[in-house]
Amino acid sequence: MSKETFVAMQRSIVDGAPDIASQLAGQALRAGISPLDAINQGYVPGMHEVGEQFARGQMFLPDMMASAEAMRAAMALLDPELKKLGTERPMEGIVVLGTTKGDIHEIGKILVGTLLSAHGFRVHDLGVDVSGEKFAAMAHEFRADIVGVSALLTTTMRNQKSVIEALEKAGLRPHVKVMVGGAPVTRRWADEIGADGYAKDAMTAVVLARSLMQRKVQHPVAEQA
């Protein structure tokens, strides 16, 4: 398996071809390609290309939906393989994850959840279009250590702040770390809204989640204050 395979994976996303995307994912796994390499070097660049074509007006909403379908088809095979990695690890922490209210983008968020699971976190994925109140209620119910909030639209980023406000209102903020991410999100935005951290991609989200857990453990008294 080679660079051509990754290029074919990218193509399958741009073409919105779920059958081909799935077939290539199966081939990659059989050939011993790491599922993460297939995602990061094959399918995700395809999604970026789709975004660029959409922004240039060379692609329309139905095309973008077909591309998302192709990505889902590939993930259906790759996701379980990634998750398997997490089953033999000690539990690192509990994460409540979702996409903000008004936003239905889920592919990146699912990837973040998968990698967190693969690295030992117990992840409760609330799905998309999740209100701040729902994040807070679920953080309470699952005794979350971390709340992870994804946003892909500049118009829904501000709802990440609403999640923090809802956690504050529910009295949970001192006990829960908040991490944010998504294509338009920046570290500066994270600081501005009072999040505890920002991750630019799924692997960085794992590193960040671990460091947030350490901060929780090392400063338990400060956390409760």
Residues of this chain that bind ligand B1M (CB under 6 A): 44, 47-48, 50-51, 54-55, 61, 64-65, 67-68, 102-109, 111-112, 148-150, 152-154, 179-184, 199, 201-202, 205
Nearer to ligand B1M, 20 or 95 (CB): 95
Of the pair 35, 182, the CB lying nearest ligand B1M is at 182
The residue among 61 and 225 lying less far from ligand B1M, judged by its C-beta, is: 61
In the bound state, the residue with its beta carbon closest to ligand B1M is 108
Smallest gap, in angstroms, from Cβ of residue 221 to ligand B1M? 26
Q: Between residues 20 and 59, which has the closer beta carbon with respect to ligand B1M?
A: 59
CB of 223 to ligand B1M, least distance (A): 20
- Give DSSP secondary structure letters for the chain: --HHHHHHHHHHHHTT-HHHHHHHHHHHHHTT--HHHIIIIIIHHHHHHHHHHHHTTSS-HHHHHHHHHHHHHHHHHHHHHHHHTTTTSPP-EEEEEEEBTT----HHHHHHHHHHHHTTEEEEE--SSB-HHHHHHHHHHTT-SEEEEE--STTTTHHHHHHHHHHHHTT-GGG-EEEEESTT--HHHHHHHT-SEE-SSHHHHHHHHHHHHHHHHH-HHHHH-
Shortest reach from residue 49's CB to ligand B1M, in Å: 9
In angstroms, what is the minimal distance from the CB of 79 to ligand B1M? 12
**Minimum CB distance to ligand B1M smaller for 50 or for 126:** 50
